A = this chain, B = another copy of it.
């Protein structure tokens, strides 16, 4: 017989007349007092954020909330078209596209930096940046967090995010490192590779103490909000059916001609 291990969670608990969330009383200490963005910090960290942490963390989340009619938004609207009775399914479908190509790079950029700086006392950031770029160049793989197909030579979100990091006391080695990585990559590869929004978010989340494995969650929480926004617009002004009809017609036109 296998020896069972204990299982426990500190997230929340419920009795007949009380609900506890992360050590606080939901009714008396959270509802009406803690806004959604600070709630996110509480959920992850177990304590409420300082005002500085709150400003910065909310900034990270809203940066990735909305980017127009992306593949993610299209997937959500297509799903809503077929299943309007389950809008949670539409939001879920949208979230499923947050992978390696688009926003998943928040996680990747935080990962390479946290692994590189782990345990380092006075790290030589320039050397670390060179090593990272060389490693990716050898494997012919894109470095997460730098480069953007539209926003070049600068991603306009990045300087704003670093400015906020400075103003709120969280501009440190990670913010420096991602910029050194971008500069070195531009030098080695000979093209514009600015720190993009996901790179800046990965760096600042690392400054705020977030484990790289949870950093994609910052993007997920923000984008869940954006996807609900898209469904709300789809309800007001439905376009999913017209979109799907056009695609169906054009992609199958050659089959009908036979």
Interface residues of A (CB under 8 A from B): 2, 4-5, 7-22, 26-28, 30-32, 34-40, 42-44, 54-55, 58-59, 61-63, 65-75, 78-79, 81-93, 95-102, 104, 107, 150-152, 154, 156-157, 160-161, 163-164, 211, 213-214, 216-217, 220-222, 224-226, 228-233, 235, 237, 239-256
What is the bound-complex CA distance between A84 and B228, given in angstroms? Answer: 22
CB contact between A66 and one of B12, B82, B161 (< 8 Å): that residue: B12
What is the bound-complex CA distance between A222 and B104, given in angstroms? Answer: 21
Q: Are B156 and A18 in contact (CB under 8 A)?
A: yes
21 contacts between A and B (CB under 8 A): A5-B242, A9-B230, A12-B252, A14-B151, A16-B150, A20-B255, A26-B157, A31-B62, A40-B225, A69-B244, A75-B75, A78-B97, A79-B96, A83-B101, A87-B214, A87-B216, A88-B98, A88-B216, A91-B217, A91-B224, A221-B225
Q: Which residues of B contact A151 (CB under 8 A)?
A: 14, 16-17
Q: Which residues of B contact A150 (CB under 8 A)?
A: 14-16
What is the bound-complex CA distance between A249 and B70, given in angstroms? Answer: 10
Q: Shortest Cβ distance from A5 into chain B, in angstroms? A: 5
Q: Which residues of B contact A34 (CB under 8 A)?
A: 58, 62
Q: Shortest Cβ distance from A199 into chain B, in angstroms? A: 15
Q: Which residue of B lies closest to A1 (CB)?
A: B249
CB contact between A83 and one of B35, B70, B86, B253 (< 8 Å): that residue: B86
Q: Which residue of B lies closest to A219 (CB)?
A: B88
Q: Are A248 and B68 in contact (CB under 8 A)?
A: yes
What is the bound-complex CA distance between A245 and B10, given in angstroms? Answer: 16
Query: With A44-B232, A73-B11, A101-B84 known to touch, is A39 a contact of B65 (CB < 8 Å)?
Result: yes
Q: Which residue of B lies closest to A216 (CB)?
A: B87
Query: With A71-B79, A78-B74, A101-B81 known to touch, is A32 a contact of B59 (CB < 8 Å)?
Result: yes
Q: Which residue of B lies closest to A96 (CB)?
A: B89
Q: Which 9 pairs between the two chains have the least Cβ-Cβ distance? A: A83-B99, A43-B229, A82-B97, A36-B37, A224-B224, A12-B68, A217-B228, A92-B92, A75-B78
